[in-house]
């Protein structure tokens, strides 16, 4: 079995974290792609274990929930009836500490209610006190955060509206269109500010006193 030196391992992991593909790393380092993948899995498992151990009992006041899109094997629109359930669109749910710029929690899977619930529960187990959470308009977050935090949370959604949405090119483009409106919705917490009101300022629309964002 080929044993890579520490410098070789560092070069491989460094190239992967910079966004190089496995085949590109193979060309750059001369190391076979199977070895690169085994090393990536081993280092990834170690990083996951370290993160799970260190990210506990945290005092985090501001959290930002978001999802990073990717795909496994092929994009969702090319999925066939005989493909595995894991194939297709895949998302990384992330909880970012806005002040510390640290990933407190993450969940990998389909963008659905089950993963939103698991993600919110994991966040709750890692932080202390009552946080303030903001997210996009993904509707399963509303129930997931309520299940995980109950009344011990201040939660709002920020929904961006893009030019030409919806449209025939929406599902095919790699980057979103021009933002034409930003809507803020108070979902939970701060009951003294929870009034039915709507006003615009600097091109942004603010809404409060509602249960979900569009």
pLDDT confidence of residue 2: 61
In angstroms, the CA 51 to CA 49 distance is 5
Per-residue confidence (pLDDT) for residue 200, from 0 to 100 = 36
| Cα-to-chain-centroid distance, residue 59 | 20
Partners of 32 in beta bridges: none
Q: Where are the alpha helices (DSSP H) in 69-190?
A: 113-126, 140-149
Q: Collapsing DSSP states into helix, strand and coil, what is residue 194?
A: coil
Distance (Å, rounded) from C-alpha 157 to C-alpha 136?
A: 5
The segments of the chain whose pLDDT lies below 70 read 1-2, 164-177, 190-214
**Residues 28-53, buried b or exposed e (16+ Cβ, 10 A)?**
ebebeeebbeebbeeeeeeeeeeeee
Yes or no: say if 133 and 63 are a contact pair by the CB < 8 Å rule.
yes
Write down the pLDDT at residue 214: 34
- Give residue 171's pLDDT: 47
Instruction: Give dist(CA 83, CA 74) in Å, integer.
Output: 10
Separation CA 153–CA 155 (nearest Å) = 6
Domain-by-domain residue ranges, the chain? 1-54, 55-208
Burial label for 110, CB within 10 Å (0-12, 13-18, 19+), is middle
Instruction: Give me the residue label for tokens 């893009």.
Output: 162
- What's the predicted TM-score (pTM) here? 0.74
Please tell me the predicted confidence (pLDDT) of residue 15: 96
What are 98-107's pLDDT values in tens digits? 999 999 999 9
Cα–Cα nearest to 54, from 9, 100, 14: 100
Give the residue among 147, 96, 94 at the shortest CA–CA distance from 124. 147
Q: What does the CA dihedral 59, 115, 17, 179 come to, rounded to 10 degrees? A: -90
Q: What is the tens place of the pLDDT at every residue in 53-81?
A: 999 999 999 999 999 999 998 988 899 99
* Predicted local distance difference test score (pLDDT) of residue 196: 35
CB 184 within 8 A of CB 156: yes
Residue found by looking up tokens 């510390």 in the block? 100
- Omega before residue 166 within 30° of 0, cis: yes
Give yes or no for a contact between 90 and 71, defined as CB atoms under 8 angstroms apart: yes
């Amino acid at each position: 079995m080929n044993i890579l030196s520490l410098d070789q391992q560092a070069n491989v992991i460094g190239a992967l974290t910079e966004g190089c593909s496995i085949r590109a790393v193979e060309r750059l380092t001369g190391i076979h792609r199977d070895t690169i993948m085994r090393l990536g899995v081993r280092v990834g498992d170690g990083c996951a274990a370290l993160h799970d151990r260190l990210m506990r009992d945290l005092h985090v006041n501001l959290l930002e929930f978001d999802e990073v899109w990717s795909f496994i094997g092929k994009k969702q629109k090319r999925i066939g009836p005989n493909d595995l359930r894991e194939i297709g669109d895949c998302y990384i749910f992330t909880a970012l500490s806005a002040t510390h710029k640290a990933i407190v929690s993450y969940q990998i899977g389909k963008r659905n209610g089950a993963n939103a619930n698991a993600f919110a529960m994991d966040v709750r187990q890692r932080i202390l006190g009552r946080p303030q959470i903001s997210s996009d308009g993904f509707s399963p977050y509303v129930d997931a955060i309520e299940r995980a935090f109950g009344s011990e949370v201040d939660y709002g959604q920020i929904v961006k509206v893009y030019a030409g949405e919806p449209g025939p090119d929406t599902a095919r483009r790699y980057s979103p269109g021009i933002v034409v409106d930003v809507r803020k919705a108070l979902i939970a917490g701060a009951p003294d500010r929870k009034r039915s009101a709507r006003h615009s300022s600097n091109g942004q629309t603010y809404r409060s006193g509602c249960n979900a964002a569009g």
